[in-house]
Amino acid sequence: MRLEQLQAFLWVAETGSFQEAAGKCNVTQSTVSRQVQALEAEVGATLFHRSKKAKLTLAGECLWPYAKKICHAWNTANQEIAEMFAGKKTELCVATIHSVSAIYLPPVLQRFSRDYPEVKLRVTSLGSDRALKVLKDGLVDIAIVLNNRLLTTSSEMLVDALYTEPIEVLIAANHPLAQYKQIPWAELIYYPQVIFRDGYGMQRLVKEQFERLGAKLNVALEVNTLDAFRGVVRQGNLIALLPGSALIDARLDPTLAIKTIDITPTISKVSSIKHPVWSCEVVIVTTSDRMKIPPIKYFYELVKELIPKGVRNAKNHL
């Protein structure tokens, strides 16, 4: 069954004439007749009484409301697709990690809302790996996350690096490790750690790096907010490995200390490591088909323009 067959059937039913229906469809009368005959062969019944005026048979009356719904749904879908690619998208969904949404994304949201006031923005803070999965599932349009090449290396994915930042150690101000200006890697393995929950890119990165360097990660607690990290670390002996942007508020807290990591001795032992172990790359990700939609493309390019500037400004004030 083809759409043009249903459309020809509807025009004949409306006009009562194969000739008038041909004019509506911009085809010949013989073409309309063939389309209706093919449809009758599909349903296994005559659809019109062919006399001076074409009238619906019982089978035709039964088919008519369904044919109308199908054609209406098709026309609606066609219109919505055309409007979407013309930039008339009503909602744009973004999934991003906490530090980006709290610190670097607000200027992007403000500019986008000014330039696309008719598009409703929906921003959700998720772990990086979870955000990439919902992007693949079509639940969001853009993800701003820690890069995970296992999830971003595919033909339909578009990935652009935004910035790279070091991973640092968050500790209580009176923690034994606070004596170091740079904490030696060998000292980290002796202390229990607070890490992100499953689905967060930082959990994966920390576990991978400990495994790569042949060390055991002592996980004492899993949390999923930056406030929780600060709260539990402040209380005692726990430490946390977090990217620099997640520690901006912690730097203002006199009960906390932030230290860099001395990993020089460990890198020389692991020849496969091309970059410092304790760093992470933040990327923006979407799919090639979404980049054809003007509001999504504009938001994507706006992030690439504004967020790296925000990161540079933040570093200048540290």
How confident is the model over 118-137, as a mean pLDDT? 92
- The answer on pLDDT for 267 being more than 60 is no
For residue 266, pLDDT over 60 is answered with no
When pLDDT is cut at 50, 70 and 90, the band that residue 213 belongs to is confident
> Is the model's pLDDT at 8 over the cut of 60?
yes
Residue type, 108: V
> Mean pLDDT, to the nearest integer, of 190-207?
89
pTM: 0.71
In terms of pLDDT, which residue wins out, 179 or 1? Answer: 179
pLDDT beyond 70 at 84: no
Mean pLDDT of all residues in 23-37: 87
- Tell me which amino acid residue 252 is: L
- The CA-CA-CA angle for residues 161, 164, 166, to 5°, reads 160
Q: What is the pLDDT of residue 224?
A: 86
Mean predicted confidence (pLDDT) in 118-129? 92
CB 129 within 8 A of CB 120: no
What does the alpha-carbon distance between residue 170 and residue 198 come to, in Å, rounded to a whole number? 20
Q: Is the pLDDT of residue 219 over 90?
A: yes
Max mean pLDDT range (72-81, 86-95, 134-143): 134-143
> What's the confidence (pLDDT) of residue 316?
61
Q: What is the mean pLDDT of residues 181-191?
A: 88
When pLDDT is averaged across residues 42-50 and rounded to a whole number, the result is: 90
Give the phi and the psi of residue 254 in degrees, each rounded to 5: -70, -15
**Confidence class for position 315, pLDDT limits 50, 70, 90:** low
% of residues, the chain, pLDDT over 70: 91
Tell me, what's the pLDDT at 311?
Answer: 80
Does 230 have pLDDT greater than 90?
A: yes
Q: Are 99 and 226 in contact (CB under 8 A)?
A: yes
The pLDDT score that the predictor gives to residue 317 is 54
- Interval 271-301: pLDDT, tens: 444 444 478 899 999 999 999 899 999 999 9
Percent of the chain residues past pLDDT 90, beyond the cut: 46
- Of 275 and 105, more confident: 105
Q: With bands split at pLDDT 50, 70 and 90, how would you rate the model's confidence at 238?
A: very high
| Domains of the chain (ranges, CATH numbers) | 3-85 (1.10.10.10), 88-318 (3.40.190.290)
